[in-house]
């Protein structure tokens, strides 16, 4: 065969990508990578100092993918070291610990840090994100449930996985889906699919469910001022009911949010003359 043709075919088949791990210190980023690459788990905490770098090869369909993994330190102390490594990533593994709410709440600020550091190069549409709800083996200390994590991830077009670096649950599924999505994106001109088309619910629905979960009382849940009239309560209720009715809304947690709204309305109306 003509050597040029052969070279061309080989270069179509092989692909080089860069992926990074992000999330608070001690959530299990390094252990997830170690579980996948070395098939083992280290119970002792060894904080990543700045950054760890590794290379692995994976097969996706007929392509060989060379993966450069940059495992970031989560501790704020290493910000200066970390910030240089955001650029040119095709994939990001976002990790939180299901037993630590602050590590889940911090995901937004990790995205902000990344956007800031990428500067004018920031094109988040050309990056595949996966979210790992890690340490699911520690069921007794779990405080962030699946629907809450899934909602945060899927409303942004990110895939969500429940993982345990300790038991291995979800790890190979996550990496397989991650590398295959990156390959799809590279083959499709570097754009990931529109999340609303693929997930079937809107950002407004996702944001409303999150707001309802975090509301401090029934007034707040319905989005009306304390002391509102029956009409105001009913109007707010109807708007939320249309948005979240289980027949219409498939977002994770929508059923619970809908029930909470019904209960909030009932309890408010009881006390309004």
Is there binding between residue 30 and Mg ion (CB under 5 A)? yes
Least gap, CB of 133 to ligand GTP (angstroms): 10
Is there binding between residue 155 and Mg ion (CB under 5 A)? no
Decide which of ligand GTP, Mg ion, none touches 77; Cβ closer than 5 to 8 Å per partner kind: none
Q: For the purposes of burial, counting CB atoms within 10 Å of the CB of 29, is it exposed (0-12), middle (13-18) or buried (19 or more)? A: buried
Is there binding between residue 18 and ligand GTP (CB under 6 A)? no
8 Å CB contact between 257 and 264: no
Beta strand pairing call for 63-72 and 159-162: unpaired
Dihedral sign for Cα 189, 55, 63, 192, please.
negative
Which tokens belong to 74? 């989560």
Is there binding between residue 48 and ligand GTP (CB under 6 A)? yes
Region of 73-81, 83-91, 211-219, 220-228 interacting with ligand GTP (CB under 6 A): 73-81
Is there binding between residue 155 and ligand GTP (CB under 6 A)? no
Taking the least distance from each CB to ligand GTP, the nearer of 27 and 65 is: 27
Is there binding between residue 165 and ligand GTP (CB under 6 A)? yes
8 Å CB contact between 129 and 181: no
Taking the least distance from each CB to ligand GTP, the nearer of 3 and 53 is: 53
Region of 46-54, 81-89, 178-186, 220-228 interacting with Mg ion (CB under 5 A): 46-54
Is there binding between residue 24 and Mg ion (CB under 5 A)? no
8 Å CB contact between 243 and 204: yes
Q: Which of 56, 68, 166, 180 binds ligand GTP (CB under 6 A)?
A: 166
Is there binding between residue 100 and ligand GTP (CB under 6 A)? no
8 Å CB contact between 144 and 96: yes
Is there binding between residue 103 and ligand GTP (CB under 6 A)? no
Is there binding between residue 131 and ligand GTP (CB under 6 A)? no
Burial 132-142 (b: 16+ CB within 10 A, else e): bbbbbeeeeeb
* β-bridge mates for residue 59, sequence order: 64
Least gap, CB of 71 to Mg ion (angstroms): 6
8 Å CB contact between 47 and 172: no
Is there binding between residue 83 and ligand GTP (CB under 6 A)? no
Which residues here bind Mg ion, judged by CB under 5 A? 29-30, 48
């Amino acid at each position: 065969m003509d050597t040029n043709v052969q070279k061309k075919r080989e270069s179509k088949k092989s692909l080089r990508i860069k992926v990074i791990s992000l999330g608070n210190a001690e959530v299990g980023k390094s252990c997830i990578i170690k579980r996948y690459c070395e098939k083992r788990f280290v119970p002792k905490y060894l904080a990543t100092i700045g950054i760890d770098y590794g290379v692995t090869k994976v097969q996706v369909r007929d392509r060989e993918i060379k993966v450069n993994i940059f495992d970031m330190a989560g501790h704020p102390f290493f910000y200066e070291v970390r910030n240089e490594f955001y650029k040119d990533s095709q994939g990001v593994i976002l990790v939180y610990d299901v037993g630590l709410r602050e590590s889940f709440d911090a995901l937004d600020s990790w995205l902000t840090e990344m956007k800031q550091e990428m500067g004018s190069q920031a094109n988040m549409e050309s990056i595949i994100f996966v979210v790992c709800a890690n340490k699911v083996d520690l069921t007794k200390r779990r405080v962030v449930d699946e629907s809450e994590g899934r909602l945060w991830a899927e409303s942004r077009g990110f895939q969500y996985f429940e993982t345990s670096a300790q038991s291995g649950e979800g790890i190979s599924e996550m990496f397989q889906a991650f590398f295959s999505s990156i390959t799809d994106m590279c083959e499709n001109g570097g754009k990931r699919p529109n999340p609303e088309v693929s997930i079937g619910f809107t950002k407004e629905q996702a944001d409303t469910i999150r707001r309802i979960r975090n509301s401090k009382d029934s007034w707040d849940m319905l989005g009306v001022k304390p002391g509102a009239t029956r009409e105001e309560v009913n109007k707010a209720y109807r708007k939320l009911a249309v948005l979240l009715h289980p027949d219409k809304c498939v977002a994770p947690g929508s059923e619970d949010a809908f029930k909470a709204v019904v209960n909030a309305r009932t309890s408010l109306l009881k006390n309004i003359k």
